[in-house]
Structure 1
Amino acid sequence: MRLRLASLCALAIVHGGAHADNVSVAVAANFTAPMQKIAAAFEADTGHKAELSFGATGKFYAQITHGAPFQVLLAADDTTPARLVSDGKAVASSRFTYAIGTLVLWSAQPGYVDAQGNVLKTGDFQHIAIANPKLAPYGLAATQVMDTLGVTARLQPRFVQGENIAQTFQFVSSGNAQLGFVALSQVMVDGQIEKGSAWQVPGHLHAPIRQDAVLLNPGKDSAAAAALLQYLRGDKARAVIKAYGYSF
């Protein structure tokens, strides 16, 4: 299968736009901004068009297992792609970690969140936003952080829960929640926090957020799908990914 994927990639590169095709991609919500940039560059460089759908990884899993015709999944974790491989819904040899995510506690208000995250223990905020931990890996990581810090019981009555990390970010950016746990990629541009205030959560407070990509069964014979997975490993895509605060 690895040889087949390599052959498809080579075919896509050699023929370029002359044999351009579309690839349907399910993308974890935290990866929205970087993937939009990568997709534009991918189309310009290869002629293939990535048709992107953004949402919660857990919801994508349910859709894929019920027959949704996505060809590639860019998950917010490594367990969902592994489950899809185990379920016989994805190609085992195609799975790889395309990014390692960073969790931040963020407020749209400058100076509101301190650099050590002590606001979780001392703040008098009314609402704190988190993504649904059953659907969104960043939400699960947020609960692990609060459990580790021993603040879950005190803060739980103040939770505002988003279906995915994008909705969680909207709760905070709109002011409906004074602060919330979001992905660093949502608030970082060119290596800098764009606005507000944030605490970049130390990695030892939660399980690593390894984000894996995988080729789904409907994409097995797609040169565009194989080319996209190869493109994500390239220098151009990696520069974009790094600019949004991810590591590898």
Structure 2
Amino acid sequence: METPVYRDRPVSFVRRSGRMSEAQDRAWAELSPFYLLSVERDAAATSVRPGSAIDPAEVWGRRAPLIVEIGSGQGHQIVSAAAARPDADFLAVEVFAAGLARTMLDAEREGLRNLRLVEANAPEVLEHMLPVASVDELWLFFPDPWHKNKHTKRRLVAPEFARIAAQALRPGGTLRLATDWQDYADQMRAVLDEAAEFERDFPGEWAERFDGRVLTAFERKGLRVGRDIRDLTYTRRTP
């Protein structure tokens, strides 16, 4: 029997498996050849092999601003954004297969040609799949807060994330974040304020709500239980 392979560092997500609907199965079979990027894997199922960077101009067939959303879920945010910005290219990064299938269905319904998806661990996409300084905007909206003390080490926004996010973003590029967990918002701000590669793009304590962010189920849930929504916006410094 083949020995299972595990990562040597914790990942910031739980891999959700579960039954897909008939429509989602169809989307995966029929739409993934166009929308879903193939990935050269390393050890684990959602890994990305080092040295396997894509060429965005080849993938999208043009040179345009590239916007990447980490943890795109069911795709409501990125499908809306891609429909509103045909002049830009979009990449959704997610490990939840049913969410990717739903995103493809909605993208097809909108007739989108400027959106692609990747089923992979986000830090490895940023570090190994995207060329250095190829991303104009990087979005991280309502990531898993891992609110239990024993799990906070799994949070995505940590000093290592700042390094690889800066690597993927072009100088002058934008990092946008949002969360409804106050202690995670505090952590995000502390990490990015300390990162030499980034500078704040907002006065005061928090950024204004990003106009391009749609009201998703995650944000509605936070508002319903009385949590404050915290936005942060940072600019990639020129080296």
Q: Which TM-score band (shorter chain)?
A: under 0.3
RCO higher in structure (CA 8 A, sep ≥6): 1
More strand by share: 1
Q: TM-score, normalised by structure 1?
A: 0.27
Q: TM-score, normalised by structure 2?
A: 0.28
